[in-house]
Structure 1
Amino acid sequence: MDHFPRRKRVGLLKPLLSLSLVFASFLMIHKLKVAEKDGLGAKHARDASWCGSKCPPLKKGAMRNSLGISDPPQRASNATPPGSWDAQVLNCSEDASVRTKDWFRRLDPRFHQFVLHRHCRYFPMLLNHPEKCADDGGGGGGGGGGVHLLMVVKSVIEQHDRREAVRKTWGREHTVGGKRIRTLFLLGSPTTGKDTKNLQKLIQYEDMVYGDILQWDFMDTFFNLTLKEVNFLKWFDIYCAGVEFIFKGDDDVFVNTNNLLELIGFKVEARKDADLFVGDTISKAIPIRNRQSKYYIPKELYDKPYPPYAGGGGFLMSSQLARRLFVVSEDLELYPIDDVFLGMCLQKLRLAPEIHPGFRTFGITRRKVSSMNSEPCFYRNLIVVHKLSAQELLGMWSVVHSDALVCAQRRPM
């Protein structure tokens, strides 16, 4: 008999969730307007299209398949000017021939859509900012020449508070000793079942204020993280001839920007920057077979040890290597774990990521209860630490950069 009151509570759940979303939307808009009024990066409104009037408009009624890929009836004509993003409209139907394979019939169903659409690689851009890499410093700040360091942050639409914390801390755009630092956030589209239209309007407004979001028209899911990698590499190859180095990481890490720049300086001085790819390297790893794990991979999909790879929480690479990675990535099948996929690309180049003790993409210690994970002096001496909430990042940044903090002498990088 208890099922009747449960049904009543479930019936109230949907309107409560809707009210919560409306409240969150108003709160986000209010925060963005405050930031705009205070001059925290307010910019002129930009056309959400990435190439202005030369782009064919995306059809509002375009249907999505279960992977979240726009599926209009035909591919756009090849009228895009050279040096521009050319994935304007994508006809990405499933590869039906895969269904006839014996291994596919044995494959865990949760991987079916990924495998059926693995050939779908590049997608239309909803928000684009090629000026970020321009020599004139479109992102603001002084300094001549190109961009020394491009901070590239993986995020999702709902994590506005994390992006805001990054902008106020390690992602702040500025110039150090004449070397310009610029920041971009990588996003896909809202996943099915969410208030897609309102979320998209919110992200467009946020981008109007800050002008630092690259967004592609594929659904922002865990399996699609690799799409962020390959689409960014292509984007970088097109627009960023003047950028020297890239830091790529998550929106929940702490980055000591000064130590990162110091590491770059050491590599340049030693002339070891051309093939630079450094982070928290994992070697001799094998696919996880535990079906409950977020990183579970069935044998049908991959059945050999992983190549060495850097934890996706944060790593540093040279622009020269990024361009080479783009070239080899086009000949590799997409893999559902993005940092492993980059390891595969490095292996194709006969390179391996360099391990560095300053990158801690699993935290300072793996035990969350350890006091070391909240000790500011460790953060002052490290380069990347994972994982912090938005409030923890803001708090730690303030403490680490306080003159009142006294630490033992730091180790050389």
Structure 2
Amino acid sequence: TFLNIREYTFYKTKSFFVKSSLGSSSSPVLGDESDAQRARVSNGTPATWDAQVLNCSEDSTVRTKDWFRRLDSRFHQFVLHRHCRYFPMLINHPEKCRDGEAHLLMVVKSVIEQHDRREAVRKTWGREHTVDGKKIKTLFLLGSPTNGKDTKNLQKLIEYEDMIYGDILQWDFMDTFFNLTLKEVNFLKWFDIYCAGVQFIFKGDDDVFVNTNNLLDLIGFKVEERKVADLFVGDTISKAIPIRNRQSKYYIPKELYDKPYPPYVGGGGFLMSSQLARRLFVVSEDLELYPIDDVFLGMCLQRLHLAPEMHPGFRTFGITRRRVSPMNSEPCFYKNLIVVHKLSAQELLRMWSVVQNEDLVCINHQKLLATCSVM
């Protein structure tokens, strides 16, 4: 199935521990919680993560529906378990936001096997540091290894990685494409519980380049303009319709969704304010999960009667859509943009090094972006 359904019992001392029904030894869920956090309740959510025991069986009533019988079989498990929304945490870091001083939280979607990408992000745009008194913190969002893989060893490796860096949030659902939306809703709930003091969130993939200074400049402009409450900025896609090509990764059958999509941003990278993130969490709980996470967030924005803001600095389809174009490897674009998708770990490290070089001289910013915009 798409969901990795197990039962867990959580034992609480000063820190949390998890015991798996697979019989593995208890492993730490790092970080304890303060009295203030335990007492805090926002929008009716609990003061701590409360998805402690999960036994989520399929919704068998769906099988009786005519539309379900016509539905492409690859979507059956998703639909049957669509009501399974929040999952036990295998690794938690409530202390990440504890000091209440984080200006920007970099939240990166990843999978267990992509350790080289996480290493590259930590060494480049995801490095935790302070810029002009503004703290930047980083977290990676993970699910569990899919069936058929060396599950126990992979889990031990990710726990060891987290012991070193302390920057991983992991939930007990299978890390599959259809479950990316679970990362969205579980993170929004986690953020609402634990991150009262964080001001902005950048949410992105582990294969993007982010120019952190330009991102902070954009935040500064929005603060000066007092346009923070509804801030949701990225590479906006408007007037899109579901893809009906069965060979496409983003294929959606008519039985599942049969109307145009609301405006949404490419999930490679976008910026939002904490105020809006909390409102998205509230409305997300009343929406059925959708198998494309970018579109799901667009649906949440639509519920709030908002649309994402388009910004030319976010290039979630690359600098040009022709991947063979030499412009996609031109460092001056990376110096003047905010987000560029898609790079390997090696390309990210190399481009970061070039862009940070003070000897790099580029032409006028506006001319550069204008050239890029017509590609």
Shift of 1:409: 2.6
Output one character per residue of 1:322-353: Cα deviation in whole Å (capped at 9) or x when no partner: 00000000000000000000000000000000
CA distance in 2, matches of 1:50, 1:300: 43
Partner of 1:32: none
Shift of 1:55: 5.6
1:61 to 4, 22, 29: 22
CA distance in 2, matches of 1:252, 1:97: 40
Partner of 1:115: 79
1:350 to 288, 305, 308: 305
Partner of 1:253: 208
8 Å Cα contact 2:11/2:17 also seen in 1: no
Partner of 1:212: 167
Shift of 1:408: 1.0
Q: 1:56 to 1:388 in 2, by over 3 A?
A: closer
Instruction: Indicate whether 1:335 and 2:315 are aligned.
Output: no
CA distance in 1, matches of 2:103, 2:15: 31
SS, match of residue 348 in structure 2 = helix
8 Å Cα contact 2:214/2:336 also seen in 1: yes
CA distance in 2, matches of 1:168, 1:258: 15
Output one character per residue of 1:100-139: Cα deviation in whole Å (capped at 9) or x when no partner: 000000000000000000000000000001111111xxxx
Instruction: Indicate whether 1:103 and 2:58 are aligned.
Output: no
SS, match of residue 316 in structure 1 = strand
SS, match of residue 123 in structure 1 = coil
CA distance in 2, matches of 1:401, 1:59: 45
Q: 1:156 to 1:51 in 2, by over 3 A?
A: farther
Q: 1:255 to 1:51 in 2, by over 3 A?
A: farther
CA distance in 2, matches of 1:226, 1:56: 26
8 Å Cα contact 1:187/1:214 also seen in 2: yes
What is the aligned-residue RMSD (CA, Å)?
Answer: 1.7
Instruction: Indicate whether 1:88 and 2:49 are aligned.
Output: no
Partner of 1:161: 116
Shift of 1:187: 0.1
CA distance in 2, matches of 1:260, 1:266: 10
Map 1:2-401 → 2, pairs under 5 A:
52=13, 57-61=18-22, 82-135=46-99, 146-401=101-356
Shift of 1:410: 1.9
Q: 1:56 to 1:96 in 2, by over 3 A?
A: farther
CA distance in 1, matches of 2:356, 2:95: 30
Percent identity over paired residues? 84
8 Å Cα contact 1:58/1:89 also seen in 2: no
SS, match of residue 225 in structure 1 = helix
Shift of 1:57: 4.2
Output one character per residue of 1:215-239: Cα deviation in whole Å (capped at 9) or x when no partner: 0000000000000000000000000
Q: 1:397 to 1:366 in 2, by over 3 A?
A: same
SS, match of residue 268 in structure 2 = strand
CA distance in 2, matches of 1:164, 1:55: 26
Shift of 1:59: 3.5
SS, match of residue 312 in structure 1 = coil
Residue identity opposite 1:235 in structure 2: W
SS, match of residue 205 in structure 1 = helix
**What are the ranges of 5 or more consecutive residues in structure 2 without an aligned counterpart?**
1-9, 24-37, 40-45, 370-375
Residue identity opposite 1:406 in structure 2: V
Q: 1:368 to 1:86 in 2, by over 3 A?
A: same
After TM superposition, the structure 1 stretch with the greater mean CA deviation from structure 2, 51-60 or 324-333, is: 51-60
Q: 1:120 to 1:170 in 2, by over 3 A?
A: same
Partner of 2:43: none
Shift of 1:91: 1.4
CA distance in 1, matches of 2:364, 2:171: 45
